C-alpha cells in the first residue's frame, strides 16, 4: 500500500481510498485543508488517472449540499494499452518573460492650444521567471492590472513571439506552438457555451471533438458520465446551460462545465484565467477542488486567481504574486509567512495569508514614488529566491526528453489518443478526427441548439410568408398589357431584393458563436474548413424551405408564365438568391465585430446592389465608371434570370395595336382617335398595323431592359457561384481573424 502525504504534520486530514489504475493495489490519498502542502510532497511513482483522483469530489458535494451519496467509481478509458508505465514527470519552466505594449495618449500643447498625440511603452510583464510541475497547482495572484491574465496568455502561447521576450520550456525543451495546442487546454474567464444545450450534451459534443474516432461511442459516453459525476454535475446533467433569456444552470455549475469541456481529453497542461471569478465561496472551492484532482492525475495546472479564500489556499501548491508586471513572491503557501517575516512585515496570527500579502502589495504600490515601495519587495524576492534555492534546492529536471515523456503519458491514458501516435514522430495528431466527422458533429450540435429556439426560424418564416402574401395580393393576376409588363418588372425587382434582405438574420449567428469558435479552434478541436462547410450545410435546409414557401406563395398568384417548368426555375432562382444572400451575410459576420454595425453595412450594400441591378437604370444607361458595380451586384443575376424566365416566349405578345399609346400622354384619348392615329402611322410607315397587331414581344422587352449578355441558366449558375465565393471568403476571414494572440 502506498500513501501520498504532506511532509509536515497537520491537525486534520481527509483520507479517500481508491484503487490504482492497474488494480494491483490499494492507495490512499491524504489531503490537508488547514496547511498548504509544500512541493516536496511529490513522489515519482505510478500516477493514478484523472478520474480516480477526481473521485474525491464527492466529499465536497457532501460538505456543500449534505448529500451523503458517494461519487461513483471512475470508468477508466481503455485506449488499447497492455500496460501502464511508470509516471514521467513534467516540469514547466519560464524565465525572463517580458512583454510591453505601446499606448497612445493625447496631450494638449499649451502654447498653441492644439492637441498632440504621443506614444509611450507600458510594460505588462517585467522579467518574470518561475517553474511548476505535474501534480501541482500554480496560482498567479495580484490586484487588477497586475499582469495575471497576461502571464497566463504568455505561458499558453497566446502572445505573438515577436512581442514576447523570454523562454517557456517543458522539460527543458522549447514548446512548439502546434504541440502546445494539442497537449494543453485553456479555460477562459468567460463561460462560452451554447445556451440551449444541456450539460450532458455539451460534454458529449466536446468528447466527439477531442476524443479519437477509434474509441467506441459507448466509451465516449462512459467518459462523459464519469466526468459529470466527478465534476459534481449529476443533478444538472439534463439542464440546459441557459442565458439571459433562458433559465439554466448556476454560475458554479457553468464554470465546471467550461472546465469539463477542456479536460475531456485529459490534457497535460491546463491554463485557467480566473476560474473562481464571480462565484460564491462554496462554488469557488468546488472548482479548485476539481482542479486539484486534475493536477494529481499528472497534469500541470496554472491559473490566475484574484483573492483565494483560506480553504482554497490549502489546495494550492505554488503561488506567484505579481505587482505591475513584476514578481514580488514566488514559492509555496507554506513559505509565505517566513518570506514576509524576513522582509520585516510578519503576517499576524489568524490572518489570511493571501489577503495580508495583497493588502501589503497595494499599500506599497500606493506609497509615495509610485512603485518605489514595491521595488524593494521585488528586489528582496530575488535575493530570497537565491537563498532559498541554495538551502533547499530547486525542482530536479527529469532526465528524459520531452518526446519520450509525452509518449509515456499517452501510454498511461493522457490526451486520450491511441498508442500508435505515441511512437510516431509527430507524437499526437493535430486533429483527433477526420474532417467528415467534425462536420457531422458540428452540424448535429448546431441543429440541436437551433431546434430548441424555434422562434428564430419562425420569425424568419413569418417574414417570408407575410412578404409573399403582400406581393401576391398586390400584384394579383397581372395581365399582359404594357402596364402589366411594368408591374412585372417591379414585382421581380422587389421579390429578388427581398430574398437578400431576409437573409440579414444570419448575421448574428456567427457573431454569437465567434468566441466559442475561437476557443475551440485555438486548441484544434476541429478544422476551420469543417466549421465553414457545416455552417453551409446547416443553413441550407432552412433556406430551401423558405424558398419553396415564397415561390409557391407568389408564382401562381401573380400569374407568372412558364407553367410547372417555369415554377421550378423560379424556385431555383429564389433558392440561389437565398444561398448567395446567406453566404454574403455570413462572410460579413466574419469581418464585422458588432451586430448593429453589421446590419448597417448589410442594408447599405444591398441597397447599392438593387440600385445597380438594372431595374432603376438599364445597363446601357449606367455610366462607364460605375458599370463594374453593375456586374458585382448580387441582385442583377437573379433579376435577369426571372425576367428571361417570364419573357422568353417569342410568340407571347405584350403590346398590341392601340396599346402602344398606353405609356404616353396619348393614353387619355378616345379609342376611336387612337385607331385613326394608328392608321396614320401605318400609312406613313407603309406597314399595316391594326388593333390586334403585335408590336412588342417578350424578346423585345428583354432587349429594352438590356438583358442580353447572359442566358437564364447562366445567370442562375453565376448566382450560385457568388454563394460559394462568399463561403470561401468567409473561410479566409476566419483564417485571418482567428489569430487570438496579443501583439
Tell me, what DSSP letter sits at residue 95? Answer: E
Q: Name, of 120-134, 625-639, 663-677, the range with top average pLDDT.
A: 625-639
pLDDT for 68 beyond 60? no
Cβ 312 vs Cβ 305: under 8 Å:
yes
- pLDDT, residue 390, reads 66
pLDDT for 481 beyond 90? no
Tell me, what DSSP letter sits at residue 305? Answer: -
Q: Which is higher by pLDDT, 690 or 568?
A: 568
Is residue 453 domain-shared with residue 364, that is, in the same domain?
A: no
- pLDDT, residue 556, reads 95
CA-CA distance, 535 to 508, in Å (whole number)?
A: 13
Is residue 412 domain-shared with residue 451, that is, in the same domain?
A: no
- CB neighbourhood size of 561 (10 A): 17
Residue 454 maps to a domain: yes
Is residue 382 domain-shared with residue 281, that is, in the same domain?
A: yes
For helices 251-263 and 217-230, the axis angle rounded to 10 degrees is 140
Residue 7 maps to a domain: no
- CB neighbourhood size of 364 (10 A): 19
Tell me, what DSSP letter sits at residue 383? Answer: H
pLDDT for 350 beyond 90? no
For 258, the grid coordinates are 467550461
Nearest Cα to Cα of residue 602 among 723, 501, 692, 528: 501
pLDDT for 635 beyond 90? yes
Range of the domain at 210: 132-164+175-392+405-422
pLDDT digits (tens, 9 = 90+) for 288-318: 998 998 888 888 999 999 888 888 998 999 9
Q: Tell me the percentage of the chain whose pLDDT exceeds 70.
A: 81
- pLDDT, residue 7, reads 37
- pLDDT, residue 515, reads 86
- pLDDT, residue 607, reads 93
Question: What is the sign, positive or negative, of the torsion defined by CA atoms of 292, 294, 297, 299?
Answer: negative
pLDDT for 10 beyond 50? no
- pLDDT, residue 21, reads 35
Least confident of 237-246, 352-361, 682-691: 682-691
Stretch 553-574: mean pLDDT = 94
CA-CA distance, 122 to 124, in Å (whole number)?
A: 6
Is residue 409 domain-shared with residue 444, that is, in the same domain?
A: no
Residue 89 maps to a domain: no
Nearest Cα to Cα of residue 163 among 136, 124, 196, 110: 124
CA-CA distance, 337 to 692, in Å (whole number)?
A: 108
pLDDT for 14 beyond 80? no
Least confident of 13-17, 359-363, 397-401, 577-581: 13-17
pLDDT for 22 beyond 60? no
Is residue 322 domain-shared with residue 439, that is, in the same domain?
A: no
- pLDDT, residue 206, reads 92
Residue 46 maps to a domain: no
Least confident of 85-89, 152-156, 511-515: 85-89
pLDDT for 507 beyond 60? yes
Is residue 366 domain-shared with residue 472, that is, in the same domain?
A: no
- CB neighbourhood size of 4 (10 A): 18
Q: What are phi and psi of 655, to 5 degrees?
A: -135, 120
Average pLDDT, the chain: 81
Is residue 610 domain-shared with residue 498, that is, in the same domain?
A: yes
Is residue 305 domain-shared with residue 441, that is, in the same domain?
A: no
CA-CA distance, 586 to 514, in Å (whole number)?
A: 12
Least confident of 66-70, 123-127, 367-371: 66-70
Is residue 452 domain-shared with residue 409, that is, in the same domain?
A: no
- pLDDT, residue 633, reads 93
Is residue 318 domain-shared with residue 270, that is, in the same domain?
A: yes
Least confident of 19-23, 137-141, 149-153, 501-505: 19-23
Least confident of 75-79, 160-164, 226-230: 75-79
143: pLDDT confidence band, cut at 50, 70 and 90? confident
The enclosing domain of 271 has a CATH number of 3.40.50.300
Q: How open is the CA angle 231-180-330, to the nearest 5 degrees?
A: 75
266: pLDDT confidence band, cut at 50, 70 and 90? confident
- pLDDT, residue 396, reads 52
pLDDT digits (tens, 9 = 90+) for 312-341: 998 999 999 998 889 999 988 988 898 989
pLDDT for 62 beyond 70? no
- The answer to whether the predicted template modeling score (pTM) of the entire model surpasses 0.85 is no
Residue 659 maps to a domain: no
B/e letters for 445-456, b = 16+ CB within 10 Å, e = fewer, are bbeebbeeeeee
Residue 170 maps to a domain: no
385: pLDDT confidence band, cut at 50, 70 and 90? confident
Q: Which is higher by pLDDT, 608 or 46?
A: 608
Residue 207 maps to a domain: yes
CA-CA distance, 659 to 696, in Å (whole number)?
A: 10
pLDDT for 732 beyond 90? yes
Least confident of 172-181, 226-235, 448-457: 172-181
- pLDDT, residue 320, reads 94
Least confident of 111-115, 443-447, 638-642, 651-655: 111-115
Q: Is 106 exposed, middle or buried (0-12, 13-18, 19+ CB in 10 A)?
A: exposed
Cβ 549 vs Cβ 464: under 8 Å:
yes
Cβ 671 vs Cβ 716: under 8 Å:
no
Is residue 443 domain-shared with residue 472, that is, in the same domain?
A: yes
Q: Which is higher by pLDDT, 684 or 197?
A: 197
Residue 428 maps to a domain: no
Number of structural domains, the chain? 2
pLDDT for 50 beyond 60? no
Is residue 332 domain-shared with residue 480, that is, in the same domain?
A: no
Amino acid at each position: 500500500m502506498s500513501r501520498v502525504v504532506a511532509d509536515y504534520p497537520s491537525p486534520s486530514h481527509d483520507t479517500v481510498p481508491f484503487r490504482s489504475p492497474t488494480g494491483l493495489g490499494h492507495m490512499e490519498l491524504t489531503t490537508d485543508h488547514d496547511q498548504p502542502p509544500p512541493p516536496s510532497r511529490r513522489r515519482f511513482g505510478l500516477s493514478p488517472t484523472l478520474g480516480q483522483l477526481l473521485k474525491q469530489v464527492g466529499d465536497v458535494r457532501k460538505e456543500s449540499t449534505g448529500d451523503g451519496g458517494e461519487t461513483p467509481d471512475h470508468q477508466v478509458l481503455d485506449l488499447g494499452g497492455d500496460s501502464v508505465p511508470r509516471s514521467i514527470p513534467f516540469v514547466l519552466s519560464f524565465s525572463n518573460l517580458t512583454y510591453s505594449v505601446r499606448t497612445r495618449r493625447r496631450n494638449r500643447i499649451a502654447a498653441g492650444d492644439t492637441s498632440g498625440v504621443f506614444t509611450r511603452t507600458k510594460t505588462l510583464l517585467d522579467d518574470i521567471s518561475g517553474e511548476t510541475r505535474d501534480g501541482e497547482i500554480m496560482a498567479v495572484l495580484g490586484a487588477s492590472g497586475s499582469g495575471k491574465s497576461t502571464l497566463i496568455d504568455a505561458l499558453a502561447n497566446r502572445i505573438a513571439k515577436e512581442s514576447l521576450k523570454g523562454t517557456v520550456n517543458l522539460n527543458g525543451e522549447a514548446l512548439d506552438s502546434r504541440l502546445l495546442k494539442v497537449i494543453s487546454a485553456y479555460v477562459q474567464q468567460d463561460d462560452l457555451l451554447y445556451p440551449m444545450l444541456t450539460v450532458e450534451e455539451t460534454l458529449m459534443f466536446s468528447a466527439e471533438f477531442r476524443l479519437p474516432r477509434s474509441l467506441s461511442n459507448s466509451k465516449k459516453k462512459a467518459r462523459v458520465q464519469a466526468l459529470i459525476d466527478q465534476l459534481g454535475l449529476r443533478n444538472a446533467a439534463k439542464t440546459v446551460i441557459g442565458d439571459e433569456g433562458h433559465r439554466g444552470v448556476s454560475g458554479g455549475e457553468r464554470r465546471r462545465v467550461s472546465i469539463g469541456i477542456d479536460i475531456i481529453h485529459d490534457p497535460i497542461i491546463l491554463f485557467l484565467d480566473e476560474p473562481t471569478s464571480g462565484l460564491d465561496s462554496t462554488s469557488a472551492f468546488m472548482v479548485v477542488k476539481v482542479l486539484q484532482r486534475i493536477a494529481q492525475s499528472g497534469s500541470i495546472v496554472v491559473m490566475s486567481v484574484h483573492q483565494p479564500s483560506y480553504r482554497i489556499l490549502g489546495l494550492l501548491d505554488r503561488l506567484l504574486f505579481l505587482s505591475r508586471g513584476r514578481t514580488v513572491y514566488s514559492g509555496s503557501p507554506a513559505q509565505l509567512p517566513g518570506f514576509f517575516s524576513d522582509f520585516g512585515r510578519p503576517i499576524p496570527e489568524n490572518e489570511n495569508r493571501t489577503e495580508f500579502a495583497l493588502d501589503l502589495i497595494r499599500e506599497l504600490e500606493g506609497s509615495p514614488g509610485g512603485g518605489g515601495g514595491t521595488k524593494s519587495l521585488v528586489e528582496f524576492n530575488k535575493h530570497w529566491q537565491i537563498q532559498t534555492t541554495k538551502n533547499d534546492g530547486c525542482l530536479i529536471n527529469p532526465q528524459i526528453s520531452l518526446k519520450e515523456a509525452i509518449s509515456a503519458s499517452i501510454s498511461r491514458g493522457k490526451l486520450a489518443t491511441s498508442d500508435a501516435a505515441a511512437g510516431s514522430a509527430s507524437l499526437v495528431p493535430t486533429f483527433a478526427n477526420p474532417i467528415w466527422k467534425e462536420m457531422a458533429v458540428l452540424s448535429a450540435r448546431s441543429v440541436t441548439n437551433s431546434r430548441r429556439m424555434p422562434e428564430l426560424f419562425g420569425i424568419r418564416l413569418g417574414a417570408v410568408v407575410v412578404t409573399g402574401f403582400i406581393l401576391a395580393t398586390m400584384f394579383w393576376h397581372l395581365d399582359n398589357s404594357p402596364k402589366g409588363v411594368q408591374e412585372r418588372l417591379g414585382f421581380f425587382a422587389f421579390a429578388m431584393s427581398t430574398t437578400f434582405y431576409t437573409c440579414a438574420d444570419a448575421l448574428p449567428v456567427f457573431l454569437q458563436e465567434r468566441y466559442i469558435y475561437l476557443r475551440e479552434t485555438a486548441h484544434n478541436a476541429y478544422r476551420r474548413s469543417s466549421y465553414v462547410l457545416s455552417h453551409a450545410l446547416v443553413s441550407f435546409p432552412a433556406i430551401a424551405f423558405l424558398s419553396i414557401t415564397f415561390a409557391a406563395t407568389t408564382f401562381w398568384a401573380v400569374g407568372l408564365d412558364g407553367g410547372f417548368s417555369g415554377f421550378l426555375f423560379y424556385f431555383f432562382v429564389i433558392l440561389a438568391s437565398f444561398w448567395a444572400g446567406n453566404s454574403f451575410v455570413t462572410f460579413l459576420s466574419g469581418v464585422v465585430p458588432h451586430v448593429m454595425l453589421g446590419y448597417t453595412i448589410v442594408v447599405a450594400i444591398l441597397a447599392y446592389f438593387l440600385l445597380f441591378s438594372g431595374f432603376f437604370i438599364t445597363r446601357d444607361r449606367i455610366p462607364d465608371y460605375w458599370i463594374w458595380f453593375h456586374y458585382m451586384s448580387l441582385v442583377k443575376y437573379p433579376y435577369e434570370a426571372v425576367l428571361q424566365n417570364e419573357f422568353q416566349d417569342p410568340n407571347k405578345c405584350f403590346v398590341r395595336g392601340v396599346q402602344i399609346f398606353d405609356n404616353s400622354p396619348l393614353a387619355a384619348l378616345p379609342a376611336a382617335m387612337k385607331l385613326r392615329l394608328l392608321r396614320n402611322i401605318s400609312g406613313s410607315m407603309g406597314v399595316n398595323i391594326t388593333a390586334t397587331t403585335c408590336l412588342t414581344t417578350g424578346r423585345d422587352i428583354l432587349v429594352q431592359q438590356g438583358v442580353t449578355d447572359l442566358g437564364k441558366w447562366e445567370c442562375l449558375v453565376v448566382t450560385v457561384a457568388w454563394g460559394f465565393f462568399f463561403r470561401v471568403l468567409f473561410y479566409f476571414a476566419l483564417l485571418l481573424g482567428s489569430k487570438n494572440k496579443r501583439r
